[in-house]
Structure 1
């Protein structure tokens, strides 16, 4: 695409990026790869949760998503409550000013239209609504790309999510259930498409240079306390999940299996510590990972895996490693079904270590067959995502030269992505 009047098109990326969630950052990496390959002339920056991390890792300018730095900490004192409230007002103008400087804003993947984990309406749903409303106000094209969505019971959250989706220029979903959920919330999805998660467009992990320990199992863990509707029994759910996972890991170690514990977010560290404390074995170790590429390498070196976080599952599937999903939302079940492993799911809210072990052994018995299935499904996912990127270009990057509607020059450098 030729820049209009010699001025490069200005693209913003938006979301809880750089905040410690490897899945979110993997989605950003995928979109930046698309922009670098298809629109190298674009000037890219971010409005995100962790601007320092995003700038350091991906080489693009970034601005903090919220004016109030304590946005995602619980406000209990009058001062912090007042500051958080003031921040909501300030963010209206900050978000509008940022959006107005761009021709296109992309929200890359992530579960931005769901509340399957604890979520307050005045948190990210409010921020997403401000983004999409500002886009409509200033004529900036806003794209929700391969996003997750789910039914939302909380009315204020549902209203904000519904209007954010309605105001977006482009929408696509990472599974059919997400599209159905948004339709049920009153959004016209007749022209919306379903594509795989953006992480499937990332490079496949290389084969391990050295043979991994025979029988190695990757176990992805999570600080899981249920979702929005489980707040009253959050600790009970967490305890059951943790106890079941500890029993499962202990059983593997007692069989002489090497276990690698994986996380997907900084908040998962206490779960890892609890497992290591309860299972005192040199066979149980923790993988140091800082990207989805790191997670994929770990998964590729394993014979099999068990995981709960959505993008840990994707890393195993992308690596071609048979994985058993500990599921807390329909998105994980849809993902596993789509990749041919729908029979290997276990409920996160009701973890039963004995049943989990039984399912895991059945998974391993079919390992060779499942690896072949995953190879075929991965090829199809890559093909479908190439089709999405073509559609995204058609929707967001017009080929006809038109007068640039902004009068102030953009100072940001063209997109560059550092190797993690």
Structure 2
């Protein structure tokens, strides 16, 4: 893809990528798949949280998001506080210089416009604002693609998030409540689209034991897989339980430990009840920070029926959830992976995004609050879910086909919005060439 200046279009990707969150990296992978399929000549690099991981895993140059390496550690000593303050100033110049080198910058998915987990305004919200302000200053098109949003109580965080959204050249959301939240916070969303989460564009892994073909993309990927999500035969009765280091949201800091204790205790009771029924349980995570929760469950439920999966990507999560009879999960992208492969799923919901996802996929009745895990009620919902397993699998086939088609539309819209007409003409010429 060549710009109007006769040089390849320079595309940057931005976010907390390569930092241990599998959902964030899955969103990046989906956008890179789109760029390689639709704009193969684009020159792509990243400004991100884990540049070494991104460079090694995805083969693109990557720069550290923050100058100060201890950005997300609590600063208590004077030297640390001073270094963090200096980092804010340095980051303003570093971000501006990086943005200026690009024609387009894409923020791929992620909950960048929400505070459903604890968040400080001078952390990522400040970094995102620097990005969008630099884009407006230098004429670089910044796109927030398939992002999550929620109304924010903290005034500084709310102001930064609202400012970032207003300065972006393009916005789309992964669910309706996200768009509604930005509208409620004073952003004009009349032109903003709503599409399924970007992870639904990822290829579904083949069944265990089969060699994987070259990964297809979007609707083509689903057609190659026979038009349906792939289910892997697994151990009879296996239940995947996706856990999370859950402490409530940004407004729950005063009660964070109490919320976590209730969540963990309820989850342990539920896992113990499954084991008493003779069900194998496979524990899943979605972020490096979830490991202590897995350890606590394994210690509390001392049984060979309970094992922990080692997952390093959304593809790993899809393989695990496809091999299960049923999934009960907290993290948003644990839910996405389970639903994408067509496994009946129950959400331990901690935010509106989980409820919206389950409703979109036809399982809106199977949500349970993560803040108040009632093991007995959860077990009742779980049994009701299993009774409807065959019907729900058929529903998921239909909803996955629709999601894939909608994401094809999202990427077509993105090309129209971000890339110059000359670039699109070149892309059409390549497609029409014999």
Which TM-score applies when normalising by structure 1? 0.94
Residue correspondence of structure 1 range 153-192 to structure 2 within 5 A: 153-192=153-192
* Alpha-carbon distance, 1:6 to partner: 3.3
**Which runs of no fewer than 5 residues in structure 2 stay unpaired?**
210-231, 424-434
Deviations 1:333-378 (A, max 9, x none): 0000010000000001101001110000000000000000000000
Q: Does 1:290 align with 2:319?
A: no
| 1-structure distance, mates of 2:356, 2:190 | 20
**Which residue of the partner structure matches residue 14 of structure 2?**
14
The alpha-carbon deviation at position 184 of structure 1 amounts to 0.4
Query: For residues 400 and 256 of structure 1, what CA distance do their matches in structure 2 show?
Result: 62
1:310 aligns with 2:352: no
**Distance in 1 separating the partners of 2:403 and 2:186:** 29
In structure 2, C-alpha distance between the alignment counterparts of 1:235 and 1:163, rounded to whole Å = 32
Q: 1:400 deviation in Å?
A: 2.9
- SS state of the match for residue 4, structure 1? coil
Q: How many Å separate the matches in 2 of 1:65 and 1:102?
A: 16
Residue 361 (str. 1) matches residue 383 (str. 2): yes
State the distance in 1 between where 2:387 and 2:42 align.
Answer: 49
Match of 2:281 among 259, 268, 274: 259
Residue 234 of structure 1: which of 253, 256, 264 is its match? Answer: 256
Q: Deviations over 1:229-275 (max 9, x none)?
A: 11111111000000000011111111111111000000000000000
Counterparts of 1:75-90 in structure 2 under 5 Å?
Answer: 75-90=75-90
Q: Distance in 2 between matches of 1:208 and 1:177?
A: 37
- The 1-side partners of 2:8 and 2:233 are apart by 48
Indicate conservation of the 8 Å contact 1:208/1:300, yes or no.
Answer: no
User: Which of 237, 240, 243 is matched with 1:218 structurally?
Assistant: 240
Q: After the TM superposition, which parts of structure 1 deviate over 6 Å for at least 4 consecutive aligned residues?
A: none
Contact 2:4–2:420 (CA<8 Å) still a contact in 1?
no
Q: Which residue of 1 aligns with 2:38?
A: 38
Q: What is the SS of the residue equivalent to 1:159? A: helix
Is 1:371 the equivalent of 2:403?
no
Report 1 or 2 for greater relative contact order, CA contacts < 8 Å, sequence distance ≥ 6: 1
CA contact (8 A) 2:3 2:422 kept: no
Distance 1:319 1:4 in 2: 42
Alignment check: 8 A CA contact 1:216 1:303 kept = yes
Distance in 1 between the 2:292 and 2:75 partners?
22
Q: How does 1:399-410 map to 2 (within 5 A)?
A: 399-400=421-422
SS of residue matched to 2:421:
coil
Which residue of structure 2 lines up, in the alignment, with residue 409 of structure 1? Answer: none
After superposition, the C-alpha distances for 1:76-121 in whole angstroms (9 at most, x for unaligned) are 1111011000000000000000000000000000000000000000
* Residue equivalent to 1:145: 145
Map of 1:415 onto structure 2: none
Inter-partner Cα distance in structure 2 for 1:26 and 1:394:
23
Residue in structure 1 matched with residue 223 of structure 2 by the alignment: none
Q: Is the 8 A contact 1:207 1:301 kept in 2?
A: no
The offset of 1:207, in angstroms, is 3.0
CA–CA separation in structure 2 for the residues paired with 1:166 and 1:395: 16
| Alignment size in residue pairs | 401
1:135 corresponds to: 135
| Separation in 1, partners of 2:82, 2:94 | 18
Instruction: Give 1:268's aligned residue.
Output: 290
- Using the alignment, how far apart are the partners of 2:194 and 2:11 within structure 1? 23
* SS of 1:214 mapped into structure 2: coil
Aligned to 1:107: 107
Preserved contact between residue 116 and residue 150 of structure 1 (Cα < 8 Å): yes
Helix, strand or coil at the partner of 1:400: helix
Q: Residue 117 of structure 2 corresponds to which residue in structure 1?
A: 117
Query: Do the aligned residues in 1 keep the contact of 2:3 with 2:420 (CA within 8 Å)?
Result: no
Alpha-carbon offset, residue 204 of structure 1: 1.7
The equivalent of 2:26 in structure 1 is: 26
Q: Answer yes or no: is the 8 Å Cα contact 2:35–2:42 preserved in 1.
A: yes
